[in-house]
Structure 1
Amino acid sequence: MTTAEISADEAASDFNPMVSPHREDPHLFYRVARQGPPRLSPTIGAYLVTRYDDLITVLNDPETYSSKAALPWIYDNPPEVVEILRAGGVPETPMVVNDDEPDHTPVRRVFDAGFTGARVRAMLPTMRARADELIDGFTDDRADLVADYAVPFVQTVISAIIGFPPEDTAQIQQWTDDVNTLWNRLAPVPDRVAAAHRMVEYTRYLQALIDDRRAHPRADLISDLVHGANGYPGLSDARVHNIVRGAARVAGFDTTRDAITATMLIALQNPDVHARLRADPVKTIPKLTEEALRRDAPHRGLFRVTTRATNLGGAELPAGAPLLLLFGSGNRDETRFPDPDRVDLDRPNVREHLAFGRGLHTCPGAPMARAEIRVAVETLVRRLPGMRLADGYEPTYIASYFFRGLESLLVTW
């Protein structure tokens, strides 16, 4: 057994998304875990909530299940990492996803301004132009729909929404990867030290943009956060840093990238689905999008912590118990979605999936993400109707604590 693998017994009793076999297929564990109450994972250090009904119970009861630990704080790192962050003046506040009421609403309502229906509609020409431009750039008759398409497509959209200059995309992506590393409790400490050093640079960069938007507001998320929206005042600079680098750039990039490629993989693996997609993309894309979000949720889940002793699905939990909500498992719960591993474009309750969460912390960017998926998929189908998986291609997945995404998606036509 190598450091990148765990034994069969461990695979059935504990969960580690960074290594095999859970990295390739977390459902090996999820199927077993749903047979019993939430269990404590020694690797994750939290109770794993895998059943749909238990997940809904937690999401619908924020008074018992606090969001204050939804995502790790970057200052919850080893001392050598914290020392670098503190010396560099890297701000740390609760993220909006970590806020309970009454703190949540004033921040969330300002954040929501970046993802209104009007903003979604305004972004559609940018999405369409970028999708066509990327396909124009495909060479020969092959492409990797992750590196050559989904990554640059989503980067363009999220940068425009936030207000990042397009020419800074590569550097911002490095910093975004660093945020993910600092959140990852399983990442090697030397990697977190290196990420902390780069976070100091990111802090200076973001502060310059905040200062600019304070003097020269634009139609972008940074300006909304600085000046306020929806009747609520602007946020502190530290809050703006945290929302931009985390909830906006990390969540807005990783999840949408992975949802686009998961949707296309399902289409290309299932000839009947691909045929329906080509024959009637307008009706088929929304159905395929929701079934892909259900079947292959791009976001693994978020943490909660109990505020009092409680019973959840048969597990007696003390006050202060950490929970990891595994949305991908709930989305394949046999009691909610019959024959859950099967691709069914006509599944009547598909919209009950938890890919975007539920309740107080439902993802504010869900309408924008759905629009990005729709444009990305419909442009591929229109421009390359004969696309198929490259010979010998087998899907492999990134080693990620929070996200479930393909490393590559090799296609030909």
Structure 2
Amino acid sequence: MRKIQLTEFNPMVSPHRENPHQFYTWSRAEEPICYSPALNAYMVTCYDDIKTIVDDPETFSSANAIPTMWTNPPEVLEALDGLLPEASTVVNTDEPEHAPLRQVLNHAFSGRRVRLQLPAMRQRANELIDAFSPGRRADLVGQYSDPYVQLVVSLVFGIPREHVDRVQAWTDDYMLLMNPLAPVDGKVEAARRLHDYQAYVEAMAADRRENPREDFMSDLVHGRENFPPVSQGDLHYMFRGLRFAGHDTTRDLMTSALLLMLGDDRRLWETALADRAVLPQVIEETLRRDAPHRGLMRITTREVELNGTTLPEGTALLLLFGSANRDESRFDDPDGVDIHRPNVREHLAFGSGIHQCPGSQLARTEVRVAIETLLDRLPALRLAEGYEPAYIASYFFRGLERLDVAW
């Protein structure tokens, strides 16, 4: 097999799967606007360039922010036949269409909604620790962060506990279909299964029309004081898309923060044991160092020059937030760990501008509660002997395959 060169960025394979920062560092210094034939897009790696793009939605449209499943090869589209066409989502929409959809999400992920989930967060964290704690060893991805986040985000959406695993399997299928680098045969099987997912969402929406609750699905079908009900197409696209966006990013943020805390002879873990108030700072520095979402796309609406590169109208751009967050021109000692970094909140892990992640408060709260519970229940937690981090093969996300710990 031909070895992938440093300049041929592909986060699905080595060496970029294990360490994308080699490419990021090279690109920022040598080619900050770097063309990728595999993606047919320019990758943008410098902080100032990415900030320019996200703060100018008129020039850099979000119409292609994430791929859609309808851009797949013919055999995949054949398997998708019969599904509702994807409509609008807050991520892929510009103004004026963006604002009404954003209102829906601002309500769904408001501080009040987040606070309503605190008891469920604490209960789920303790349930999972009860299940694995007698073994004196655990994988905090598979046995803790993944099932914890799956349940919390499902409850926000209105998905009952007994359906969480089923909906997660469909969510994985949906994410696979939007991955431009995934094998076609797997996509065909995923496309076939999505018909059942559509039927499930339709049934859930019908139930909420008759039995409204304090959940996201009820928001979509009934609307609230400051926004109307959404269309059927919008309902499906927003439900599917936000369900996967709210899971992987939070899971990966949590395990990256725990790896940071338990490394370096558990220095940050010991600091947090003594003072829980440092956890928000740990979480922000983790977001900066290891942005859980690799990046989003934009498309130019006119010819524009960016960092010396002329980009014609219609040029696709991939904004690599993980690279921007380690840009030497913005953050001192960017590869180091400093939980007292004065400008840490300038990181772009949750985006910026009108498209800043509406679920960021929920994600930060989920991670804080989960780590607080581990600190309370397993203060002697440490990385398992011989553990070496390995990362998932993902176009969208940067996260650990496992996090093996002992106590």
Q: Secondary structure at the match of 1:305?
A: strand
Specify the code of the residue in structure 1 equivalent to 2:56: D
Counterpart AA for 1:143: A
Q: Are positions 1:311 and 2:305 aligned together? A: yes
* Aligned counterparts, 1:275-290, within 5 A: 275-281=270-276, 283-290=277-284
Q: TM-score, normalised by structure 1?
A: 0.96
State the Cα distance separating 1:111 from its structure 2 match.
Answer: 2.2
The structural deviation recorded for 1:401 is 0.4
Rate the CA distance shift 1:210–1:128 in 2: closer, same or farther, 3 A: same
State the match for 1:392 in structure 2: 386
How far off is 1:32 after superposition? Answer: 0.4
Where does the alignment leave 5 or more consecutive residues of structure 2 unmatched? none
Is contact 2:288–2:325 with CA below 8 Å preserved after alignment? yes
Paired AA for residue 198 in structure 2: T
C-alpha distance after superposition, 1:125-162 (max 9, x if no partner): 11011111110111410000000000110011011000
- Give the RMSD, CA atoms, in angstroms: 1.0
CA contact 1:111–1:225 (8 Å) conserved in 2: no
Cα distance, 1:280 vs structure 2: 0.5
Q: Structure 1 residue 155 and structure 2 residue 147: aligned?
A: no
Q: Segments of 4+ in structure 1 off by > 2 A?
A: 88-91
- Matching of residue 98 in structure 1 with residue 97 in structure 2: no
Task: Judge which range, 269-278 or 165-174, deviates more.
Answer: 269-278
TM-score relative to the length of structure 2: 0.98
Whether the 8 Å CA contact 1:109–1:229 is kept in 2: the answer is no
CA positional deviation for 1:14: 2.0
Distance, in Å, in 1 between the alignment partners of 2:261 and 2:105 is 34
* Partners of 1:381 and 1:341 in 2: CA distance: 26
Q: In the TM superposition, what are the counterparts of 1:351-370 in structure 2 within 5 Å?
A: 351-370=345-364
* Correspondent of 1:335 among 329, 335, 340: 329
Q: How does 1:9-408 map to 2 (within 5 A)?
A: 10-11=5-6, 13-35=7-29, 36-86=31-81, 88-138=82-132, 139-246=134-241, 248-270=242-264, 271-281=266-276, 283-408=277-402
How many angstroms apart in 2 are the aligned matches of 1:72 and 1:95? 12
How far 1:84 sits from its partner (Å)?
A: 1.8
Deviation, 1:91, is: 3.3
Residues 277-312 of structure 1 deviation map (CA, whole Å, 9 limit, x = unaligned): 11111x210110000010000000100000000011
Question: Is contact 1:210–1:237 with CA below 8 Å preserved after alignment?
Answer: no
Secondary structure of 1:226's aligned partner: helix
Shift in Å, 1:55: 0.5
What secondary structure, in the 3-state scheme, does the structure 2 residue paired with 1:311 have?
Answer: strand
The answer to whether the 8 A contact 1:37-1:312 is kept is no
SS class of match (2:66): coil
Distance 2:255 2:32 in 1: 32
Alignment-mate amino acid for residue 275 of structure 2: D
Flag structure 1 segments of 5+ consecutive residues without an equivalent.
Answer: none
Is residue 72–residue 183 contact of structure 1 (8 Å, CA) maintained in 2? yes
Query: How much does 1:230 deviate?
Result: 4.5
